[in-house]
Amino acid sequence: MTLDELTTPALLVESAAFEANLAAMAKALPGERLRPHVKAHKCTALARRQAALGHRGFTCATVREMEGLAAAGLGQDLLLANEVLDARRLGALDARVTVAVDSPETVAAAADGGVGEVLVDVNVGLPRCGCPPAEAGRIADLARRRGLEVRGVMGYEGHLQMLDDRGRREEATAESMALLVAAHADVGGEVISAGGTGTYDCNRVATEIQAGSYALMDTAYAKLGLPFRPALSVLSTVISVSEGYAVADCGLKALGMDHGNPTVEGAKVWFCSDEHLTFQPEARLAPGARIRVWPAHVDPTVAYHEAMHLVAGDEVLERWPVDLRGW
């Protein structure tokens, strides 16, 4: 199959850039130093590529992701880095399952659901899930009293991932990780799980890094000068041309927009509508022309699509179902 045979909008993964990204991260964080986060790609075929490079433990954001990886034979060491109040589906999996807990209620859910292992989730500055660092020891003690094995702690410095200034990103990461280290002293265990693509190489504390976006990349992360290349784009067709602008069939329902407009090479993007992208090309395009649209945020972009296509030039090498979508 060639690109011309794909129905647009279609999700594309540039093979050369993708393979280079996986290799660069495997060199920087070999084996268990990296726990890839599948929320970025929601695809077991892609996860198999990561596992083949030695990264056999995975981070998940949803129960569906955990179930899908287990069913695909990738359940050697799965971490749900998220709180749940009903863990029965997780306890039923044929996999090693660890769940994040940050309260008596989530501890009870893990124990009642048949999950055997937990990490205490600690708030290290991102106002999302996680207990205060001073409460981590109490949560760990409660978990042990319920018969759970406490593997250690986790904390996500997500508020720092996109800091443009490298020095400030390093400094702020160290400050966040100091909170996690203090909590770990009270909790115990072998694991300090943290990090992401933006801080993968400046987090000096974590025993494992939960990076995900590095494999596909997006234009927001590309601004940081990381050694990973944009690999994910949306193939789109120009469906209308007017004086000074053109419209393609790739809109809000095909692109994650929370990090801003996508990018089209040789053009200025004006705005996106539900099913349309309006842009100003440097050279006039004819209806039917194909363009590549580069998203600013990989994770939600992938989740809008049923499949992604691994490509080299105009050739479609493989079709990968985005089979971990949903909840």
**pLDDT of res. 93:** 98
Which CATH fold would you assign to the domain 3-11+229-321? Answer: Lyase, Ornithine Decarboxylase; Chain A, domain 1 (2.40.37)
List of the chain residues with pLDDT < 70: none
Judged by DSSP in three states, 64 sits in helix
Distances 278 to 172, 248, 297, 298 between C-alpha atoms, Å: 38, 7, 19, 20
Beta-bridge mates of residue 80? 60, 99
DSSP string covering 37-51: BGGGT--HHHHHHHH
Tabulate helix, strand, coil % of the chain (nearest 5): 35, 25, 40
Query: Angle at CA 30, nearest 5°, toward 26 and 33?
Result: 120
Q: Report the distance separating Cα 201 and Cα 209, nearest Å.
A: 9
List alpha helices for the chain, DSSP H: 15-28, 44-52, 63-71, 88-91, 104-112, 136-145, 166-187, 219-222, 298-303
DSSP string covering 146-186: TT-EEEEEEE--GGGTT-S-HHHHHHHHHHHHHHHHHHHHH
pTM: 0.96
Is the N-terminal amide bond of 9 cis, ω within 30° of 0?
Answer: yes
**pLDDT of res. 156:** 98
Task: Name the pairing type of β-strands 149-155 and 117-121.
Answer: parallel
Which CATH fold would you assign to the domain 16-215? Answer: TIM Barrel (3.20.20)
209 in Cβ contact with 195 (< 8 Å): yes
Residue 91 structure tokens: 């306890």
37 in Cβ contact with 55 (< 8 Å): no
Map tokens 């996999």 to a residue. 95
DSSP 2: B
Beta-bridge mates of residue 37? 59
What single letter denotes the amino acid at residue 251? G
179 in Cβ contact with 125 (< 8 Å): yes
| Cβ partners under 8 Å of residue 290, min gap 6 | 3, 4, 8, 235, 236, 237, 238
Q: Report the distance separating Cα 212 and Cα 308, nearest Å.
A: 16
**pLDDT of res. 293:** 98
Q: Report the distance separating Cα 1 and Cα 4, nearest Å.
A: 8
Measured in residues, the chain has a length of: 327
**pLDDT of res. 246:** 98
**Domain locations in the chain as residue ranges:** 3-11+229-321, 16-215
